[in-house]
Amino acid sequence: MVFTIVFTFELDASSQGLQAEINLTGGNQFVVSDTNNIQLQASPGLTIPPLLNASFYTTKFEIQAAENPSNIRQVVQVVAPVTAKGSSLQGSFPFPGMNVTASYSFVGYSSRGNLPNGSFDITFPTS
């Protein structure tokens, strides 16, 4: 089964550029193909900060925004299809040394929550 998950990364007012990375473990993979692309989008009412790098692979992705001279809040959403192996999505959200918070939600389901820094284990939704 394939679920679509939205990861939202936020960096409060800072001169640094937002950086985030998700690594999957446990056999789950992002679907990276011509028909199921991983997408970057802005949160409602915001624009995506200028990105220096956005790399997507089957078991990880990473994004890096440019420095933030305006010191405004930066928010990026990553919409990614993921294959479900087992009952949960396992991985890590490595803390990049700045105050980046992350949350997730499954498209079409009420399942959502915050990602802790470090390892995570998110139960796939059933309804």
Q: What is the Cα–Cα distance from 32 to 48, expressed in whole angstroms?
A: 21
Q: What is the CATH number of domain 2-107?
A: 2.60.40
pTM above 0.85, yes or no: yes
The answer to whether 7 and 63 are in contact (CB under 8 A) is no
Q: How confident is the model at residue 52 (pLDDT cuts 50, 70, 90)?
A: confident
pLDDT in tens, 11-29: 887 778 889 999 999 999 9
Q: Which helix (H) or strand (E) holds 57?
A: none
